[in-house]
Amino acid sequence: MTAAPRAAQLGLVGCHTCGLVCAAGQAQCPRCGSHLHPRKPDSLARSWAFLIAALILYVPSNVLPVMYTSMLGRGETSTILHGVVEFWKSGSWDIALLIFIASVAVPSTKFLVLATLLVSARRQSSWARLQRARLYRFIELIGYWSMLDVVVVALVCALVQFHLLGTAEPRVGIVFFGLVVVLTMFAAMSFDPRLIWDGDEE
Amino acid sequence: MTHPELVICEYCDSVWRRSELGDDEIARCGRCRAVLYRASRLDLDQLLALTVAAAIVFVIANVSPVIRIAVSGMHNEANLLQSIAALSHGSGLVVGLVAAATLFVVPLLQIVLLGWVLVFARAHRRAPGFAFAMRWLHRIRPWSMTEVFLLGVLVAIVKLSGMLNVIAGPGTYATVILTGLITLIAKRDVRTLWDRLPADEAVVFGE
């Protein structure tokens, strides 16, 4: 392991907003005025709260329809998975895969990874620290791509407005889905990755 | 007491001594391998020029249609704001607000705040409200989703082209450029501006 000291050992705090290295004990960063704290406040509790809320809303976001379309008088509602299957059947397997990754694989991965990080950080586990640190940065990077389905529904509903010939309207499932994405992002932001390394100094 | 010669990894709290980087070099944390800081390829003039370009492209991307569809002699087109409005009917208002924030308000704020800071930075001054602007640039960064909108446009084009005649409008091309510009100016580490611009007090004391 590298011998780099950690901030607490040297009596230092890094400002979470501007990055300035400050002496511990000050309430505010002298450069940008943000509150200084060695760890994000209530990191584990807040992150769990957002994660559980997201998990609960994930059910209606998948079960309820996200869009209603009517073509020549024949109307139907579709869920997110329904949309993936439609693309697959029509031969656009690449788009089907893209939507599946953004709408199903990314949120599921975030749930599993964040739960793993939260449990192991709480136990101050020394297991696979480097890999867990990389997993955290990975979900930080991919998280917001789940918003893809929201964009697609918005565009289709704005475009397909031909009265009797064909219309498209959003349905409540997309609201739940958008909230799931926002909540998982808050969950990831609330988690403090420094906790992964606490206990690594020895 | 502050230590500008040191840097703390924001992912694992390891303390390192700063060193000068060569072109395109990246300083990584020896403990968790996260990026500590990067060599900045752009000087302040170039950053400001790109920000002004982003402002112009932002207007085009938002007023021009991104997609135009036609069927049986009828046609329709939509831009970003019309799409957000279509999403916001009734119970969709909540998700419409999220879309408006991430696709419109946050990219707009990034351009405005960065432009404000950079106009003064050219005169080697910190703009009025510099700390406020810099704090918010840092806070809103994760919520800027122009690239997600671009991918959504491509998916919508494929989705609709099965039954309709679909054409990508000028808004789509503007969004491609806007995505590139925002990534260049605001996605990377905006924080370096803190180090590049001396505090006003320091200037006064130096005289």
**Model confidence at B205: pLDDT above 80:** no
Question: Are B86 and B78 in contact, with CB atoms under 8 Å apart?
Answer: yes
User: Is position A5 within any domain?
Assistant: yes
Q: Mean of the pLDDT values across residues B76-101?
A: 93
In a domain, A173, yes or no: yes
User: Does some domain include residue A111?
Assistant: yes
Same domain membership, residue A92 and residue A64 = yes
Rounded to whole angstroms, the Cα distance separating A155 from B149 reads 10
Give how far Cα B101 sits from Cα of A68, A142, B42, B61, B78, Å.
Answer: 24, 19, 28, 16, 19
Q: What pLDDT sits at residue B42? A: 84
Beta strands in chain B (DSSP E): 6-8, 15-17, 26-28, 35-38, 67-71, 74-78, 165-168
Secondary structure E strands in B4-135: 6-8, 15-17, 26-28, 35-38, 67-71, 74-78
In a domain, residue A3? The reply is: yes
Enclosing H/E stretch for A23: strand A21-23
- From first to last of its 202 residues, chain A has per-residue pLDDT tens of 457 899 999 999 999 999 999 999 899 999 999 999 999 999 999 999 999 999 999 999 999 999 999 887 788 999 999 989 988 998 889 999 999 999 999 999 999 999 999 999 999 888 999 999 999 999 999 989 999 999 999 999 999 988 777 899 999 999 999 999 999 999 999 999 999 999 877 5
Are residue A58 and residue A95 in the same domain, yes or no?
A: yes
Same domain, A25 and A113: no
pLDDT at A202: 59
Higher pLDDT, B134 or B91: B134
CA-nearest residue of chain B to A132? B32
Task: Closest CB to B83: pick one of A145, A155, A185.
Answer: A155
Residue A21: its pLDDT value, please? 94
Same domain, A115 and A187: yes
Is position A65 within any domain? yes
Q: How sure is the predictor about B200, in pLDDT bands with cuts at 50, 70 and 90? A: low
Rounded CA separation B74/A134 (Å) = 51
Residue B202 pLDDT exceeds 50: no
Separation of alpha carbons B130 and B138, rounded Å: 12
Residues of chain B with C-beta less than 8 angstroms from the C-beta of A154? 83-84, 86-87, 96, 99, 152
Predicted structure pTM score: 0.92
Across A9-13, B19-23, B115-119, B189-193, least confident range: B189-193
Q: What is the pLDDT of residue A164?
A: 74
Give the pLDDT of residue B49.
Answer: 95
Residue A54 CB contacts under 8 Å (≥ 6 apart), including other chains:
A107, A111, A179, A180, A183, A184, A187
Cα–Cα distance for residue pair A14/B205, rounded to 1 Å: 26
A128 touches chain B (CB under 8 A): no
Task: Check: CB of residue B64 under 8 Å from CB of residue B169.
Answer: yes
Mean pLDDT confidence for B111-118? 95
A98 falls within a domain: yes
Please give the residue range of the domain that contains residue A130.
Answer: 41-197
Identify whether residues A24 and A117 lie together within a single domain.
no
Residue A189 region by backbone torsions, left for phi larger than 0, else alpha for psi between -120 and 50, else beta: alpha
Residue contact B84–A23, C-beta within 8 A: no
Q: Decide if B158 touches A, using CB distance below 8 A.
A: yes
Residue of A86, A98, A150, A183 to mutate when probing chain B, most B C-beta within 10 A: A150
> Which residue type does A13 have?
V
Residue A202 counted as domain residue: no
Residue A91 inside a domain? The answer is yes
Q: Are residues A97 and A15 in the same domain?
A: no
Q: Which chain A residues in 18-47 lie under 8 Å from chain B, judged by CB atoms?
A: 18-23, 30-34, 38
What is the interface pTM, i.e. ipTM, of the complex?
A: 0.92
Q: Nearest CA of chain B to the CA of A6: how many Å?
A: 4
Same domain? A71 vs A153? yes
Do residue A15 and residue A61 come from a single domain?
Answer: no
Overall number of domains in chain A: 2
pLDDT of residue B24: 83
pLDDT in tens, B63-74: 999 999 998 888
Q: Are residues A65 and A144 in the same domain?
A: yes
Q: Check whether residue A89 and residue A182 sit in a common domain.
A: yes
CB contact under 8 A, B15 and A5: yes
Contact, A79 vs A149, CB < 8 A?
no
d(CA B95, CA B98): 5
Yes or no, beta carbons of A98 and B151 under 8 Å apart: yes
Beta strands per DSSP E along B60-160? 67-71, 74-78
Å from A72 to nearest chain B CA?
Answer: 12
- Are A21 and A83 found together in one domain? no
- Domain containing A92 — which CATH number? 1.20.140
